[in-house]
Amino acid sequence: MSSASVSYLICATPRSGSTLLCELLAASGVAGTPDSFFMDPVDPVWRAEWKLPAPELSRTKGYAAAYLDAAIAAGSGGTGVFGLRLMQKDLAGLLALIGAVHPGAGSDQARLAAAFGRVSYLHLTRSDKLGQAISLVKAEQTGLWHRAADGRELERLSPPQAPEYDFARIRAKLAALEAYDAAWRAWFAAQGITPMTVAYEELAARPTETIAAICRALGVTLPASVHLVPEVARLADGLNRDWAARFRADSAALG
Q: Is residue 1 part of a domain?
A: no
The pLDDT value given to residue 55: 67
Residue 3: pLDDT band (50, 70, 90) is low
For 174, other C-beta atoms within 10 Å of its C-beta total 20
Please state, rounded to an integer, the average pLDDT across all residues of the chain: 92
The residue among 44 and 83 whose pLDDT is bigger is 83
Is residue 141 a part of any domain in this protein?
A: yes
In a domain, 112, yes or no: yes
Q: Which domain holds residue 63?
A: 6-254
Mean pLDDT confidence for 6-30: 95
Q: What confidence score (pLDDT) does residue 4 get?
A: 66
* Domain annotation covers residue 102: yes
Q: How many CA within 13 A on the CB side of residue 167?
A: 10
- Say how far apart CA 199 and CA 209 lie, in whole Å: 12
pLDDT at residue 56 in the model: 64
Q: Residue 34: inside a domain, yes or no?
A: yes
Look at residue 63 and tell me whether its pLDDT is greater than 80. yes
Question: Residue 52 pLDDT more than 90?
Answer: no
Q: What is the pLDDT of residue 1?
A: 54
Number of domains within the chain = 1
Express each pLDDT in 172-199 by its tens digit.
999 999 999 999 999 999 999 999 999 9
pLDDT recorded at residue 43: 85
Q: Which of 57-61, 159-163, 218-222 has the lowest mean pLDDT?
A: 57-61
Given this model, what pLDDT does residue 235 score?
73
Report pLDDT digits (tens) over 137-176: 999 999 888 787 787 877 777 888 999 999 999 999 999 9
pLDDT band at 66 (very low <50, low <70, confident <90, very high): very high
81, 30 Cβ separation under 8 angstroms: yes
Structural domain contains residue 230: yes
**Residue 160 pLDDT:** 87
Contact 149, 233 (CB under 8 A): yes
Mean pLDDT, residues 238-250: 95
Find the CATH number of the domain harbouring 205.
3.40.50.300
Q: 108-116 and 91-101 are packed helices; what angle lies between their axes, rounded to 10 degrees?
A: 60
Does 109 map to a domain? yes
3-state secondary structure the chain: CCCCCEEEEEEECCCCCHHHHHHHHHHHCCCCCCECCCCCCCCHHHHHHHCCCCHHHCCCHHHHHHHHHHHHHHHHCCCCEEEEEEEHHHHHHHHHHHHHHCCCCCCHHHHHHHHHCCEEEEEEECCCHHHHHHHHHHHHHHCEEEEECCCCEEEECCCCCCCCCCHHHHHHHHHHHHHHHHHHHHHHHHHCCCCEEEEHHHHHHCHHHHHHHHHHHHCCCCCCCCCCCCCEECCCCHHHHHHHHHHHHHHHHHC
Whether 20 is in a domain gets the answer yes
Residue type, 150: D
| Closest-CA residue to 76 (of 5, 19, 23) | 5
